[in-house]
Chain A
Amino acid sequence: MAYPMIEIDNISKEYRLGAIGGTTLTAELQTKIAKLRGKEDPNSKIGARQHEKNERFLALDGVSFTVQPGEAVGIIGHNGAGKSTLLKLISRVTAPSSGEIRLRGRVASMLEVGTGFHPELTGRENVYMNGAILGMTKAEIDRKFDQIVEFAEMEKFIDTPVKRYSSGMYVKLAFSVAAHLDSEIMIMDEVLAVGDAKFQSKCLSKMSDEAHNSGKTILYVSHNMGTIQRLCDRCIVLDHGKLIFDGNVDEAIGLYLRHGGGEGNCVDMSAFERNQWVTKSIQMTQMNLVGKNNCVYLQDSDLIFDLFWKTSADAVIRDLVLRCTFYHQSGAVAAFTTVGLGNSGPNEEHYNQVIISLSGIVPGSYYLTFDMNEVNADGSDVWNDSCEQVTTISIEKNQQQKAEVHSDHSSMIPWKHSVYGSVRLYSSIIKERREKI
């Protein structure tokens, strides 16, 4: 058994809240002198209690895991969960407060696109610069230079100062340098977000190739679940500095999505954040899943929910439509339906019970978005209200149903959402002929 490539052993990182570094030398001296003379600190806020001044914040709290060579590990979590702090510690930008990290390889970290790119220098000069910052020697870069430029598709612009580059070109070149490093560990923080879809896909293939064929170890942070699913074989979920899950990618993503946005079978939507373009003539206030105390549905069952909404003082609503969009956890739209809600006047409170048949949607985790639209005679629509990620439902395989159709093995193939989508069309044979030839 080979040694693990990365061993993270009970790592914590603590930050002091409040005035970090913002003090001046004189203020610090005043504080010290006051302490020596046993007087009150002239710089503490009046009424501030002592422990508040030294309030501490654990960005990472006792995180441990190991990564084997050749593994591609995704790290997900909501903003402030500690993902970036973790990557910063591994790439040695800052030191942990306690714990230990053991790395058995050189680290190429891309916490930011084009670190050290100088706008005045040409692409060529910056490739050398960036490569050297990431730890390559000049000879190594010489050897890889053509590959780097070719991968970035930048042959034409390599002698142009990078300040004339578009942001996409910038990313391409920067990523290309990092991807061609002779390092054993590659750390990526949300860097692919800027490139176009084609280049993103090329990068993912490159990284996945490096991991699976060249044995590089990859740590990848992203909010884009699709790329996580494509690249990673394993996924870690962080929440408030703690590691809450380590394992299967799909399960991790499901957990992550349930932790954010709406959750549960009774959702108060009045507090949801609305987009700017919403007219606010309608406000959805409450959504209750009917007959459920969890959010698990069997395949081909019905989703029934109560929807409460009210109209504003100046609203005159004609031909209102509720649009329900189901998103798969990877972020791809899975299914869509509309419900007509008719007309309504100002200052009204409404209640509707809605039933949606889930037949055809394959098992998985889905989150729902509700929009209220008025549809004009000319087909254009007005956005009256909109709530994203109202709740997440999980659709599970109906074991009974499977037993009934046990002769049909075609329904047994494992469903790949990224390839097949989220709807399984019903199909069966209605005519059949069999002849000997």
Chain B
Amino acid sequence: MDENRYLTIIKPRSGWFDLNLRELVRYKDLIFLFVKRNFVSMYKQTILGPAWAVIQPLLTTVVFSLVFGSIAGLAADGVPSFIFYLTANVIWAYFSSCLTTTSNTFIANSSILGKVYFPRLVMPISTVLSKLIDFAIQYAFMVIFVIYFWLTDSGVHPNWFILMTPVLLLQLAMLSLGVGVIISAATTKYRDLRMLVSFGVQLWMYGTPVAYDMFSIAGFAPGGKYYGIIMCNPVTPIVNMFRYAYLGIGSIDWFYYGISWIVTLVVLFLGIVLFSRVEKTFMDTV
């Protein structure tokens, strides 16, 4: 028998990057169980159950349609304002819920993490996956409305870019995981960042064309003064492409979409490096 089959050497923290991906694969069952736990425990003992997943973006969309669409009179590029806000809200809700939950990983789970070892990345990864279930429900809800508006000929033109949806989701998952993990690594020591997250996400949303149509605001439209700035926000090209795919409005800028991917990859890499540095000893400081 191989005496060293399960040899584990525990040493003081060292090096910047000692991520053990093989181990993460070994714990894949745990990831799925966490996903299931998160989902089941969220809706147990509620009357509406998973329908709650729909209610939140629905209400936000109604509020946006009223405030920005009807009262402020912002144009929605020729489509009904309801479907205009709904598409962006659904995809933004996925991003923001992933971000806020992963950024709280260490603190919210310190009771488990302080008692037993498993690869710490299991937690944020399972968060990102379990939010996908909520997204699927909201997405199905959205698709029904897209089809309705498409059939009633209300200026909605779904196109082949719909096939990009999984890619867009993957990118959002990676980006939110990266940002969330950076924040969670920092919050083990500085609790301030936790306060920052909730309104930071709010601000980020207004920096992303969720509640308005950037193409009908002169400064933000292509060629406008602030176009470059708003497109540097890595979420903007994603939201734009998502809207383009389902509603056929706006345009796709491949240059900024490429930049968005680069930012995503860099952030994710940085996040994982920081995370692997903190995970060994965070229990002493959390």
In the bound complex, what is the Cα–Cα distance between A395 and B27 (angstroms)? Answer: 54
Which residues of chain A are within 8 angstroms of B259 by Cβ–Cβ distance?
A: none
18 pairs, CB–CB < 8 Å, chain A vs chain B: A2-B3, A24-B192, A25-B192, A26-B192, A93-B283, A94-B281, A94-B283, A95-B12, A101-B9, A101-B10, A102-B7, A104-B3, A116-B116, A120-B40, A121-B37, A125-B37, A133-B30, A161-B44
> Binary interface profile of A, 286-300, with partner B (CB < 8 Å = 1, else 0)?
000000000000000
Chain A residues close to B by CB (< 8 Å): 2-3, 15, 20-21, 23-26, 28, 88-107, 109, 111-112, 115-116, 118, 120-121, 125, 128-129, 132-138, 161, 184
Question: Of the candidates B4, B12, B13, B190, which one forms a contact with A23 in the assembled complex, judged by CB atoms under 8 Å apart?
Answer: B190
Are the CB atoms of A28 and B190 closer together than 8 Å?
Answer: yes
Chain B residues close to A by CB (< 8 Å): 3-13, 26-27, 29-30, 32-34, 36-37, 40-41, 44-45, 111-118, 188-193, 280-281, 283-286
Residue of B nearest to A22 (CB): B191
In the bound complex, what is the Cα–Cα distance between A436 and B281 (angstroms)? Answer: 79
Residue of A nearest to B43 (CB): A120
Which residues of chain A are within 8 angstroms of B6 by Cβ–Cβ distance?
A: 103-106, 184
Which residues of chain B are within 8 angstroms of A116 by Cβ–Cβ distance?
A: 112, 116
Are the CB atoms of B27 and A132 closer together than 8 Å?
Answer: yes
Are the CB atoms of A20 and B112 closer together than 8 Å?
Answer: no
Are the CB atoms of A24 and B29 closer together than 8 Å?
Answer: no
Are the CB atoms of A95 and B189 closer together than 8 Å?
Answer: no
Are the CB atoms of A20 and B284 closer together than 8 Å?
Answer: yes
Q: Given contacts A92-B117, A132-B29, could you give 8 more A-B pairs where the C-beta distance is less than 8 Å?
A: A104-B6, A104-B7, A111-B115, A118-B37, A133-B118, A135-B118, A136-B29, A137-B26
Which residues of chain B are within 8 angstroms of A2 by Cβ–Cβ distance?
A: 3
Q: Which of A20, A93, A109, A120 has the most CB of B within 10 A?
A: A93
Are the CB atoms of A96 and B10 closer together than 8 Å?
Answer: yes
Residue of A nearest to B23 (CB): A135
In the bound complex, what is the Cα–Cα distance between A92 and B283 (angstroms)? Answer: 11
In the bound complex, what is the Cα–Cα distance between A376 and B37 (angstroms)? Answer: 61
> What secondary structure prevails in chain A residues at the interface with B?
loop
In the bound complex, what is the Cα–Cα distance between A133 and B32 (angstroms)? Answer: 11
**A-B CB pair tally, cutoff 8 Å:** 123
Which residues of chain A are within 8 angstroms of B281 by Cβ–Cβ distance?
A: 94-95
Question: Of the candidates A24, A93, A98, which one forms a contact with B12 in the assembled complex, judged by CB atoms under 8 Å apart?
Answer: A98
Which residues of chain B are within 8 angstroms of A94 by Cβ–Cβ distance?
A: 280-281, 283-284
CB distance from A15 to the nearest CB of B (A): 7
In the bound complex, what is the Cα–Cα distance between A401 and B12 (angstroms)? Answer: 57
Are the CB atoms of A115 and B29 closer together than 8 Å?
Answer: no
Which residues of chain A are within 8 angstroms of B191 by Cβ–Cβ distance?
A: 24
Are the CB atoms of B37 and A129 closer together than 8 Å?
Answer: yes
CB distance from B60 to the nearest CB of A (A): 27
Which residues of chain A are within 8 angstroms of B34 by Cβ–Cβ distance?
A: 129
In the bound complex, what is the Cα–Cα distance between A21 and B187 (angstroms)? Answer: 9
In the bound complex, what is the Cα–Cα distance between A116 and B5 (angstroms)? Answer: 28
Are the CB atoms of B11 and A120 closer together than 8 Å?
Answer: no
Question: Of the candidates B33, B37, B111, B280, which one forms a contact with A95 in the assembled complex, judged by CB atoms under 8 Å apart?
Answer: B280
In the bound complex, what is the Cα–Cα distance between A2 and B2 (angstroms)? Answer: 11
Are the CB atoms of A125 and B189 closer together than 8 Å?
Answer: no
Are the CB atoms of A100 and B190 closer together than 8 Å?
Answer: no
Residue of A nearest to B29 (CB): A138
CB distance from B81 to the nearest CB of A (A): 39
Are the CB atoms of A104 and B33 closer together than 8 Å?
Answer: no
Which residues of chain B are within 8 angstroms of A112 by Cβ–Cβ distance?
A: 115
Question: Of the candidates B12, B192, B283, which one forms a contact with A97 in the assembled complex, judged by CB atoms under 8 Å apart?
Answer: B12
Are the CB atoms of A93 and B115 closer together than 8 Å?
Answer: yes
Question: Of the candidates A89, A100, A115, which one forms a contact with B115 in the assembled complex, judged by CB atoms under 8 Å apart?
Answer: A115
In the bound complex, what is the Cα–Cα distance between A26 and B27 (angstroms)? Answer: 38
Question: Of the candidates A89, A95, A125, which one forms a contact with B40 in the assembled complex, judged by CB atoms under 8 Å apart?
Answer: A125
Are the CB atoms of A95 and B115 closer together than 8 Å?
Answer: no
In the bound complex, what is the Cα–Cα distance between A2 and B286 (angstroms)? Answer: 40
Are the CB atoms of A89 and B10 closer together than 8 Å?
Answer: yes
In the bound complex, what is the Cα–Cα distance between A15 and B281 (angstroms)? Answer: 11
Q: Which of A15, A95, A112 has the most CB of B within 10 A?
A: A95
Which residues of chain B are within 8 angstroms of A96 by Cβ–Cβ distance?
A: 10-12
In the bound complex, what is the Cα–Cα distance between A26 and B190 (angstroms)? Answer: 9
Which residues of chain B are within 8 angstroms of A138 by Cβ–Cβ distance?
A: 29, 32-33
CB distance from A4 to the nearest CB of B (A): 10
Which residues of chain B are within 8 angstroms of A101 by Cβ–Cβ distance?
A: 8-11
Q: Which of B44, B45, B111 has the most CB of A within 10 A?
A: B44
Question: Of the candidates A3, A15, A100, A128, which one forms a contact with B9 in the assembled complex, judged by CB atoms under 8 Å apart?
Answer: A100
CB distance from B133 to the nearest CB of A (A): 16
Considering the complex of A and B, which 7 residue pairs feature the smallest CB-CB distances, nearest first? A92-B117, A21-B285, A132-B30, A101-B10, A95-B280, A25-B190, A120-B41
